Structure 1
């Protein structure tokens, strides 16, 4: 049967035959394109093909809606997003509809969270259809695309993470984008061919030049036929053996099944409906496509048990461009073109009542056309001649050139009027070289970069970015208060006492004088919780801190919640209040498969700081005990020691008794580290810092552990079983033995003297020193000895040995003991003289010798009841002397060895003030 497209079909087949050396499939492709257009136009339910964020599609949709006034609009968008559409009137576009799921049932757990977004801009046919349907009485809007659950069911791996990999600054994050009207060739060679012969760099530029501009003023039939033809061409050239093509066909079957279900349920006449979909789908010839009764349906699989949460998040032009691979600035240019065409064609767009960001302007709809005109061929005329493009608009181009020079000067460029003239002429030249009568924004951008961009960029923005700002800027949407989830509204309400405009998209300084205005304390508490939950730049403290045992007096904050609104909204998907979300996060961290005892202790500390829930704290503490007992490594020992010290100090200062979990943690840690200590000393994978932290735990908490029933013999046995080989760990072992009384200070000095006197060992002395410095944490009283050791090294080693030795010493201390060097420095300040004049007469303490003849009267132990008391009961003095390495016999004073005392009596001789003080207390 003949139809309106027979002449065009014959013409294309004749051209294919003329190309005898062309591809064998060429006649089939060319004839198939015409058949696809004819088939789509004969469908009783009008198919309206679109391209997303296309001003031409939006203009054609606007005109068609006013002309046809359909009673039902079917829209290619996830069907479960429909309840969100009414909330668009509370937002400033662009925004994105979002479905979010963090707890998965039916998808791999490791792929959580799952997120799907569908951005909406004003310059899109979809928004025009949504605004028309929602604000026109008697019109129904039906979303017919697969649900968000099916989006991930049909993804490779059934829910595997398929995010776009955008940077963190992107408002869409790593959500999977659902683009309505995706229209881009999936045949790489075809796209490359079009870009090359179109003399453009990017697909967005080709589309603007060869589709947007010619179709901006086209009538409805021409627009519809051309868009269907483009969709058919890309569809027929796309690889059919890919999973994406099969998914697209299933989407088409899904959508038409939903359409037929709605038609059957409501009895609506297909002639009163409009189906808005991507041009790629408009050219489908599947058996399941069509509204005719009897068309086979598609078997729709049930959704998984995953619970999806829905909301609106801010979007931006740059986020849309990044997520869907568009050229930078293309969406902003499209928005500018949309406004320009509305003015030129004198059209009034549809806008939702109450829509933010613009004034409401509506005109009465004209009477709808009674019947659609018969199908006529508009493609032949369109393809036969060149597109009717506007000529050079000198006034517009001149304005661009003047404005870009002014903007460049504000950003540090040395631009002048001569540069504006050069940009103008270069734009015209580039357009002519590329076969264009009128320079496009892309030609202007290239010309500006050529003429203004110099060797360096003087400011934050280069000329390309300045052109994007000039041609429309990166418009960023905002979700209104009424469209926010309960948690986000609660955050705004609780921060209201700060009297700041939290919607403002700039950093605001909040000053909290908690002493003068104690009513701001809840705001401070909320800000610290948001600091923990949100990105670093959203809530940033400038002055003030939150630590255990501290009471804040004044705080200063930088708040940037306006630009991080999406993060607050997504918190609302996790709970109703910030406290609930924080509790869930702490539990999730503590019970994560990779959690450690240090992770659980961190959660305990945060629960004390932010939530003050004894029940939650006890649960997290019990979890920390479990994790510590199950650990087989000591990598986190320094973090564990630091946190448990802080927590014990807090509890001792605020509670009469320690919590039960703290006691269990100390006893479990004492036994755990005693067990692992011999292995940690010899393993190369365990660092000196980790071993030092283990000893710090054992020595610092020893008294508490012993009072709770631990056995000190376990620690002594563990130290005796340790046989390290590395110098640093060997020095650490010596310090541990000295702490336990197994190695006297004199013996320790002898070992160090042997090291310094052995030329074969001297190069390794920095590592021994590193071990001694690490020993300052478990054995703080080693600080004078470490200063003594370093002083001896600098005093005894010759320059040929000392100079190569110094860099190794510095790097070793910086790498292994950076946090303990200040302790060493303070001890050195107490040991050495404070003035230069005192150096000449100063004798190091470890070089001083004391003899009975040299003991002055002031230094002699006073004769009296104290001496008699000590002589009558020598056990205590002998024990103290033994711990100090001064064991000896009672008798007269004798020569005191270098750096120490030979017995208890010389001890009294050296420190007569102590005996005198005791005598005074005894009243003697």
Structure 2
């Protein structure tokens, strides 16, 4: 018995024998015939295709199906009802942060399915949701099965990106065919080829022709890739299994149903086969809607820039030209529905369609003229020196390019190329080039928006809590919020929420212009730039993490603190954030205990500088609060004191421990010493650690000297002698900048040594010859910049206090550390109340002498030559500053 496609099959078989000698072309006819013979009507589509959308609208109004099966993840069905509150394009999303049954490195998991108005699936969804008695059933794999079917043989360093799902992903599956089509079609990219050779011919075709051509194209792409279709065939078995189950459960008549799928799947050879579907994993999926845009869709699915905008413009024009009324959510159809048309017998429409010459559409001169005028006007607004002559040139060039590409009518792509050639030339004066201006003019990067009612609870809660600001935060333009928190205390909760959002959302969503939030301080006035409408997607995805902002913030801090790579420094940062944003003493204490635990377990000192900086700030905050130190703070100080004492000898000789880290360790030990000792620590542990340290690196050697000085194991005179020996030894002089770096690092723990470091540098510049000094100056500057940039300002201030302020005073200036003692015969006699005071209280004088490095015994009275009683250096000091002694005497 002959079939309706036998003549076409014979023609293609003859062509196949002449050109290829295989059965690809006749097999394509078999695929078409099999798809059309299926009792359940298959509607093949291509995503973002105006021709598919037009054919869908016509078929829905003609057939009026009762059930629509749609190729989309089955568990996204509840989200479809929320599309009525949205402005397209938007994307259906499934999101999971805590995963079960998948590799941990894959987290978080995300699946999105973008929806545009110029798409067949939106027309089907709108028809089903707006027409009483019509059911829409999603039949593709669940989002959980999407990741179940992902290959597991991935390296540990790889993760699964967001998976995009679209109906009708119709393009060649290998580069060779696509390159061949683009070359012979005289086009630059796939989107342009599809528009020229499929979209335009099918826009005016009847439904049967459209359906057969789409299945034929899907069959071609399947058969040109004979291997690698296993996953697609399993998907098709999955969808047919779900449809058979639904038909059996509801008793629906297949003739009243419509199966909407990509043309690739419409030519499936496994049509109607069964698949044993595995259960879903324990992963908890969250579902919602997020705003999308034309540019995001193009980027995600590898489409040419501007192609989705051009498709949208083509859709609007086609609707006006054909008079077809598309389906839209939120606009219920009124009036009596027409009875569905009786089914027509299948006939061969392909033979005539393939034999006819390319359609010569009437030349739409008015449209092209409008484009040319509009692009010149838009170019002038963006800085181009365009004129009417450029508009004429674009018009003529568009026609020329269309003729060179065998097109009767210039397409938007021809117009784009002509505009770039005639207007842009070689300079782009502004931020947008001419190609981008063409995309804007033809439709622009349309951005969708999710309505308030379809937002997750957290996003709605944020908008409600920010309502006292009196701003429309859902608009996409920038808003400025001004808050006087003293005059309007009701705005304080808004301020608290904005600071939390600044922490949680990407940069730019909320930006403080005036005001700050640090420990122990609160702003009186604040100014904010708010752009929540533009970052609506981030706001929605934040809602997948919890119900309130406080809950999400606590979860993030907790996750960071208990992460496998967490360190004590990172947890201290979390402690600080919890104080600033949450104010929960219980949660802060929990994080603090975690910081103590991590500090005691660390075996390196890489984070010592950050640990010191953060714990100092936290201690200052708690002391200023007046409530006493919490238990975890005390434990952190005692644990850190013992921990760093234990690691100090190793850090001094470890090459991987830098001088900055060792300096921070000593800063912690000496700056926290009084508190640690009051909490029960033993100073002997620190003394023993310093005695056991034997560094060889110059900077660490200098640090060790300063540590011994602070412990009283080395006097100031001894420290000066060691520094002088460095300058006197020609073998060591090249390393002096490194020693200076160590001395500067010591200021972290001993700020009193600032004057000593100034003295060392002054002596170096005064004693070293230029041929020695100049070569190591760059090394000195580099060492200070790399190792202690924040400590250099204190040196500069000390130098400013030490050195004379005028040039005239330089010649008479005597450094305070180099004042020479007068000869014994010239030593003045110091008598009177001052000498009596010094003799009555020798302990104070002995302490000052120890600091100055002086030694000697007390003498009573003078000697034979009239020398003053006491140490000659002390007498010389008093003689050099008689006004001080006179002032003390006056007080007495």
TM-score (norm 1): 0.92
What's 2:868 paired with? none
Displacement after TM superposition at 1:805 (Å): 2.3
Contact 1:52-1:182 at 8 Å conserved across structures: yes
Give the whole-Å Cα distance in 2 for the aligned partners of 1:162 and 1:332: 36
* Structure 1 residue matching 2:258: 3-state secondary structure: strand
For the Cα contact (< 8 Å) 2:568–2:598, is it kept in 1? yes
Question: In the alignment, what sits opposite 2:753?
Answer: 782
- Pair 1:80–1:109, CA change in 2 (3 A): same
Structural mapping, 1:733-748, within 5 Å:
733-748=704-719
SS at match of 2:305: coil
| Partner SS, residue 310 of structure 1 | strand
Deviation of residue 785 (structure 1)? 1.1
Are positions 1:328 and 2:323 aligned together? no
Structure 1 residues 209 and 856, CA, compared in 2 at 3 Å: closer, same or farther?
farther
User: Contact 1:213–1:389 (CA<8 Å) still a contact in 2?
Assistant: no
Q: Distance in 2 between matches of 1:808 and 1:270?
A: 84
Where does the alignment leave 5 or more consecutive residues of structure 1 unmatched?
Answer: 166-173, 291-295, 354-359, 896-900
Give the aligned partner of residue 701 of structure 2. 730
Match of residue 79 from structure 1: 74
Paired residue for 1:591? Answer: 562
CA positional deviation for 1:878: 3.3
1:68 counterpart (63, 68, 74): 63
Give the match's secondary structure for 2:528: strand
1:252 matches 2:220: no
Matched position secondary structure for 2:449: coil
Q: Equivalent residue for 1:101? A: 96
1:894–1:310: structure 2 CA closer, same or farther, 3 Å change rule?
farther
Q: Is the 8 A contact 1:412 1:458 kept in 2?
A: yes
Aligned-partner Cα distance in 2 for 1:255–1:915: 102
1:308 to 279, 285, 293: 285
Change (3 A) 1:456 1:500: same
Counterpart contact for 1:67–1:366, Cα < 8 Å:
no
C-alpha change, 1:659 and 1:564, in structure 2 (3 Å) is: same
- The answer to whether the aligner puts 1:755 opposite 2:726 as a matched pair is yes
SS in 2 for 1:368: coil
Against the structure 1 CA distance between its residues 789 and 585, is the aligned structure 2 distance closer, same or farther, given a 3 Å change threshold? same
Unmatched tracts of structure 2, length 5 or more: 864-870
Shift of 1:816: 1.4
For the structure 1 residues 861 and 827, does the alpha-carbon distance in structure 2 shift closer, same or farther, using more than 3 Å as the test? farther
1:366–1:741 CA distance, 2 compared to 1 (3 A)? same
Q: What is the aligned partner in structure 2 of residue 293 from structure 1?
A: none
1:115 Cα offset (Å): 0.4
Aligned equivalents of 2:27, 2:803: Cα separation in 1: 95
Q: Is the 8 A contact 2:62 2:341 kept in 1?
A: no
Gap change, CA 1:894 and 1:595, over 3 Å in 2: farther
Quick one: distance in 1 between partners of 2:721 and 2:836? 37
Query: Cα–Cα, structure 1 residues 697 and 687, in superposed 2: closer, same or farther, change >3 Å?
Result: same
Query: Which deviates further from its counterpart, 848-857 or 660-669?
Result: 848-857
Match runs of 1:170-189 below 5 Å: 174-189=161-176
Q: Post-superposition shift, 1:406?
A: 1.7
Return the offset for 1:497: 1.2
Match of 2:484 among 488, 508, 513: 513
1:561-576 to 2 correspondences below 5 Å: 561-576=532-547
Any idea what SS the aligned residue of 1:119 has?
Answer: strand
Provide Cα deviations, 1:176-233, integer angstroms capped at 9, x if missing partner.
Answer: 1011111111132111111110011111110011111111111100000000100111
Instruction: Provide the C-alpha distance between the structure 2 equivalents of 1:229 and 1:742, rounded to a whole number of angstroms.
Output: 92
CA distance in 2, matches of 1:894, 1:482: 99
Q: Kindly report which structure 2 residues correspond to 1:520-535, keeping only aligned pairs within 5 A, or say none.
A: 520-535=491-506
Residue in 2 that maps onto 1:349 = 326
Deviation digits for residues 704-746 of structure 1 (CA, Å, limit 9, x no counterpart)? 1111111111111111222222221111222212111222222
Quote the residue 1:212 is aligned against.
Answer: 199
Native 8 Å contact 1:92 1:478 kept in 2: yes
Q: Could you tell me which of 888, 906, 918 is aligned with 2:856?
A: 888
C-alpha contact 1:430 1:439 (8 A) present in aligned 2: yes
Relative to structure 1, the CA distance from residue 613 to residue 8 in structure 2 (aligned partners, 3 Å threshold; closer, same or farther) is same
Q: Distance in 1 between matches of 2:96 and 2:247?
A: 32
Give the conservation status (yes or no) of the 8 Å contact 1:890–1:904.
no
- Give the alignment partner of residue 235 of structure 1, picking from 207, 218, 222: 222
C-alpha change, 1:158 and 1:614, in structure 2 (3 Å) is: farther
Correspondence for 2:572: 601
- SS of the equivalent of 1:115 reads strand
**2:368 matched to which residue of 1?**
397
Counterpart-to-counterpart distance in 2, 1:864 and 1:717: 41
Which of 530, 552, 556 lines up with 1:559 in the alignment? Answer: 530
| Aligned counterparts of 1:894 and 1:522: Cα–Cα separation in 2 | 77
Pairwise mapping of residues 48-59 of structure 1 onto structure 2 (< 5 A)? 48-59=43-54
The alpha carbon displacement at 1:835 in A equals: 2.7
Q: 1:192 to 1:395 in 2, by over 3 A?
A: same
Is the 1:877–1:904 Cα contact (8 Å) retained in structure 2?
no
Q: Note if contact 1:861-1:909 (Cα within 8 Å) is conserved in structure 2.
A: no
Q: 1: distance between equivalents of 2:828 and 2:467?
A: 75
8 Å contact kept, 1:719–1:733: yes
Deviates more, 1:472-481 or 1:827-836: 827-836
2:675 to 681, 704, 709: 704
The 5 Å alignment of 1:643-722 reads 643-722=614-693
In structure 2, C-alpha distance between the alignment counterparts of 1:860 and 1:103, rounded to whole Å: 84
C-alpha contact (below 8 Å) 2:9/2:26 kept by paired residues: yes
1:860 & 1:423 partners in 2: Cα distance? 105
SS of the equivalent of 1:713 reads: helix
Q: Does residue 247 of structure 2 align to residue 263 of structure 1?
A: yes
- The question of 1:424 aligning with 2:395 is answered yes
Residue of structure 1 in register with 2:378 after alignment: 407
Rounded to whole Å, the distance in 1 between the matches of 2:280 and 2:448 is 31
Q: What's the counterpart of residue 11 of structure 1?
A: 11
Distance 1:868 1:802 in 2: 46
How far apart, CA to CA, are the structure 2 residues paired with 1:861 and 1:822?
44
| Maintained 8 Å contact 1:677/1:722 | yes
Cα distance change, pair 854–498 in 1 and its aligned pair in 2 (3 A): farther
Q: Which moved more, 1:404-413 or 1:909-918?
A: 909-918
Q: 1:385 aligns with which of 352, 356, 374?
A: 356
User: CA separation of 1:723/1:683 partners in 2, compared to 1, >3 Å: closer, same or farther?
Assistant: same
1:45 alignment counterpart: 40
Contact 2:16 2:24 in 1 (8 A): no
Give the conservation status (yes or no) of the 8 Å contact 2:202–2:210.
yes
Give the structure-2-normalised TM-score: 0.95
Moved more, 508-517 or 259-268: 508-517
Provide the secondary structure at the position in 2 that maps to 1:232. Answer: helix
Q: Which residue pairs with 1:147 in the alignment?
A: 142
Aligned position for 1:275: 259
1:770/1:816 contact within 8 Å kept: yes
Q: Write the distance in 2 (CA, Å) between the matches of 1:802 and 1:700.
A: 35
Q: Secondary structure at the match of 2:72?
A: strand
Aligned pair in 2 of structure 1 residues 398, 179: CA closer, same or farther (>3 Å)?
A: same
Secondary structure of the corresponding residue to residue 721 of structure 2? helix
SS where residue 47 of structure 1 aligns?
A: strand
Asked if the contact 2:131–2:333 (Cα under 8 Å) also holds between the matched residues in 1, the reply is no
d(CA) in 2 for partners of 1:93, 1:120: 7
SS across alignment from 1:374: coil
Q: Is the 8 A contact 1:164 1:175 kept in 2?
A: no
Q: Alignment RMSD, CA only?
A: 2.4
Q: Deviations over 1:580-603 (max 9, x none)?
A: 000000000000000000011001
TM-superposed deviation, 1:756: 1.9
Q: Which residue of 2 aligns with 1:356?
A: none
